[in-house]
């Protein structure tokens, strides 16, 4: 089963990359852009068929390696959960 | 114990690039060659100091220091620190230490988005008892080079207050002779180095092993490291 982890910076953590992108978009005429935050997505293929167990394991992976919870939040998507 | 009896281990990851400079620096100060320990080792011989050197461990993949912080040798380093052993992390080594939680906070992208590579001026802080600061005077200035892209120290407001109150800030960027803004990367409270609560683990962004003699542009790195080593053997 596939799991998709989305990692984003917590509110209040400076995102210099997002700020630079925001400025660049403004320079390109996208003056409606108020703020940009850059995160990352990690796609995992996992040998597991039970969505609940999968979610639990992936949450453990996020806590131990995939995210640094001092500065990052994570969310887990399981696209085939309701199939 | 004398300096020449001091046992130092330098941990080497794929992508470490300051391990040899650190080995030469330690040998210059102690006349004894430190052990280079590969990251796949699962144990450490008894040592008086473990050093996590600078570089780009595991290509900075995922987050700087994240993969190195979870490699097998780091379990042994954590055990060493849990027994009160001394650990020093320089630059990427500092990032590794934050990823293991051995020192608080995290190092994020420099506020200016530029790799910063130059001398900086540091002030030694009034800290919790620590071998890394006890041989220096609080307020003393050191000039030591930095070379990093992710040295912007971050901790949330509560954590910052806690480490300031506990005397865990070891070094701060200050205005001095070095060219450029005093704070080179946007670090919270101008923090350049932090200590564990017990003062035995220290991470810093500047590279003391690159300031070991006047021929290298300065010897404040040698001053800092010799004082730290002397504190550790006394």
pLDDT mean across residues, chain A: 95
In this prediction, does ipTM exceed 0.90? no
3-state helix, strand, coil in chain A (%, to 5): 35, 25, 40
pLDDT at res. A81: 87
Residue A83 has pLDDT above 80, yes or no: no
> First-to-last CA distance in chain A?
11
Contact in structure between B107 and B64 (CB atoms under 8 Å) = yes
Interface of A with B in 26-45 (CB under 8 A): none
Q: Where are the beta strands (DSSP E) in B149-217?
A: 152-154, 169-174, 191-195, 201-204
Q: DSSP letter string over A46-61? A: -S---HHHHHHHHHHH
Residue A28 has pLDDT above 80, yes or no: yes
Which residues in chain B land under pLDDT 70?
none
Model's pTM, two decimal places? 0.95
Q: Chain B: nearest CA to A54, how far in angstroms?
A: 21
In total, chain A counts a number of residues equal to 83
pLDDT at res. B234: 86
pLDDT at res. B179: 84
pLDDT at res. A71: 95
Q: Is A52 on the interface with B (CB under 8 A)?
A: no
Q: Chain B: nearest CA to A57, how far in angstroms?
A: 18
Over residues A59-75, the pLDDT tens digits come to: 999 999 999 999 999 99
Contact in structure between B14 and B86 (CB atoms under 8 Å) = no
pLDDT at res. A82: 81
């Amino acid at each position: 089963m596939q799991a998709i982890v989305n990692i984003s910076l917590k509110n209040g953590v400076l995102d210099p990359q997002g700020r630079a992108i925001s400025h660049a978009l403004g320079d390109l005429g996208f003056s409606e852009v108020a703020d940009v935050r850059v995160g990352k997505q990690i796609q995992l293929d996992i040998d597991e068929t039970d969505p609940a167990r999968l979610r639990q394991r992936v949450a453990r992976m996020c806590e131990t390696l995939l995210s640094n919870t001092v500065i990052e939040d994570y969310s887990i998507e399981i696209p085939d959960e309701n199939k | 114990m004398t300096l020449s009896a001091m046992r130092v281990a330098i941990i080497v990851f794929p992508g470490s690039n300051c391990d040899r400079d650190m080995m030469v620096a330690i040998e210059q100060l102690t006349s004894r060659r430190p052990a280079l320990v590969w990251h796949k080792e699962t144990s450490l011989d008894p040592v008086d100091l473990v050093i996590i050197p600078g570089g780009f461990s595991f290509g900075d993949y995922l987050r700087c220091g994240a993969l190195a912080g979870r490699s097998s040798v780091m379990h042994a380093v954590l055990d060493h620190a849990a027994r009160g052993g001394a650990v020093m992390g320089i630059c990427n080594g500092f990032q590794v230490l934050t990823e293991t939680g051995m020192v608080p906070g995290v190092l994020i992208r420099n506020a200016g988005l530029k790799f910063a590579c130059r001398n900086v001026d540091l002030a030694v802080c009034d800290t919790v008892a620590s071998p890394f600061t006890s041989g220096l005077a609080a307020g003393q200035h050191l000039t030591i080079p930095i070379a990093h892209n992710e040295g912007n120290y971050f901790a949330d407001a509560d954590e910052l207050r806690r480490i300031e109150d506990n005397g865990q800030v070891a070094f701060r960027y200050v205005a001095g002779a070095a060219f450029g803004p005093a704070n080179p990367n946007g670090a919270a409270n101008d923090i350049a180095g932090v200590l564990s609560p017990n003062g035995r683990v220290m991470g810093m962004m500047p590279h003391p092993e690159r300031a070991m003699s006047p021929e290298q542009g300065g010897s404040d790195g040698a001053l800092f490291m010799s004082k730290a080593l002397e504190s550790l053997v006394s």
